[in-house]
Amino acid sequence: MVTGGTGFIGSQLLKALASRKYSLCVLARKPNANYETVVCNLEDGLIPESALDSIDIVFHLAGYAHDLANAINKEYIYQNLNVSATTNLIEIAARKGVKRFIYISSVKAGGVILSSRCMSENDQGSPKDIYGSTKREAELKVLEFGKKFNMHVSIMRPALVYGLGMKGNLGVMLNGVQDGWFPPLPKTNNKRSMICVNDLVKAIILISEDSRANGGIYIATDDHQYSSREIYEVMCKVANKTAPKWSVPRLIFSFLARIGDVIDFIPFNSYGYQKLFGSECYSMEKLKKLGFKPKYNLLSSLKKS
């Protein structure tokens, strides 16, 4: 069973599992023409227990992939879907004898560690927002049920995901470069980890099949750290454009962000500034020990797309 099967990652996971001859079932709000579907809204908390009859493995991906910073009720939304729905689902899975439960979390669940090195799974800090904290709370519930019911549970923490059909900030940047309105970014020393959706799907299947992954948390990246300028230059190559040699000074972005903090209709603020120039660097050494090797980087993935 796959939850979140209509999403960016979930749709690719379904294709990969189908190619491996898995018998598939999707838990979704609307019927899926390609797969057996149990129509259910996880946020309502009304998961039919019969939906997990004869299910051996659950891949739980359902959630909000993009930021809800401006949502009035975001705390309730994240708590309800990330924690309550996950707990409800694994409780039913345990009662029904599901053998494996794979939870797709986020690197945000690892919190923030003040260090110049890339964070690993051992560097558990305090999540800096409600999204990360609810993801972490859900992780702990999954691990708890795994131990209590002797169920194989594994948790995947993907870095920022790119690939065909990507949305969010990377999609906005690519569209902006293609349309000619995205400003040339300055050279910076920031480091950002990312992963191709195709490689992430391989990693998810790996931790579901390898017994060594039972009870483990795994960070998934493409094993490369990108600066903001490097990401911008890749987008230019993908759009068949030459990256300008000049760039907008970082000071200008900082100034605009401060204005955006006090004037709501300006679509750029300190939060956006941090997204653009901040560092989020993660190590995937633990996943490598299971034999995982990423195939793509940002350029090769988007060129292929």
259 residue type, one letter: I
Return the SS3 of 194.
Answer: strand
Higher pLDDT, 125 or 22: 22
Q: What is the pLDDT of residue 213?
A: 99
Q: Evaluate whether residue 237 is within a structural domain.
A: no
Q: 69: pLDDT confidence band, cut at 50, 70 and 90? A: low
Q: Quick: pLDDT tens for 106-165.
A: 999 999 877 778 999 999 989 988 999 999 999 999 999 999 999 999 999 999 999 988
Q: Evaluate whether residue 261 is within a structural domain.
A: no
Q: Evaluate whether residue 106 is within a structural domain.
A: yes
Q: Evaluate whether residue 137 is within a structural domain.
A: yes
The CATH number assigned to the domain holding 85 equals 3.40.50.720
**Nearest alpha-carbon partner for 26 in 64, 60, 77, 63:** 60
Total structural domains in the chain?
Answer: 1
Q: Evaluate whether residue 170 is within a structural domain.
A: no
Q: Evaluate whether residue 174 is within a structural domain.
A: no
Pair 176, 237: CB distance under 8 Å: no
What's the whole-number mean pLDDT along residues 11-24? 97
Q: What is the pLDDT of residue 45?
A: 82
Q: 305: pLDDT confidence band, cut at 50, 70 and 90? A: confident
Q: What is the pLDDT of residue 270?
A: 95
pTM: predicted TM-score of the whole model, two decimal places: 0.95
How many CB atoms lie under 10 A from the CB of residue 264?
9
What's the whole-number mean pLDDT along residues 168-185? 96
Q: What is the pLDDT of residue 20?
A: 96
Task: Using the predicted structure, report yes or no on whether residue 293 has a pLDDT greater than 90.
Answer: yes
CA–CA distances in Å: residue 60 to residues 114, 192, 234? 31, 26, 32
Q: Evaluate whether residue 28 is within a structural domain.
A: yes
Task: Using the predicted structure, report yes or no on whether residue 180 has a pLDDT greater than 60.
Answer: yes
Distance of alpha carbon 35 from alpha carbon 2, whole angstroms: 10
Q: Which domain holds residue 16?
A: 2-163+194-224+281-295
Mean pLDDT of the chain: 94
Q: Evaluate whether residue 241 is within a structural domain.
A: no
Indicate the burial class of 249 (C-beta count within 10 angstroms; 0-12, 13-18, 19 or more): exposed
What's the whole-number mean pLDDT along residues 269-276? 94
What's the whole-number mean pLDDT along residues 291-298? 98
Q: 68: pLDDT confidence band, cut at 50, 70 and 90? A: low
Q: 70: pLDDT confidence band, cut at 50, 70 and 90? A: low
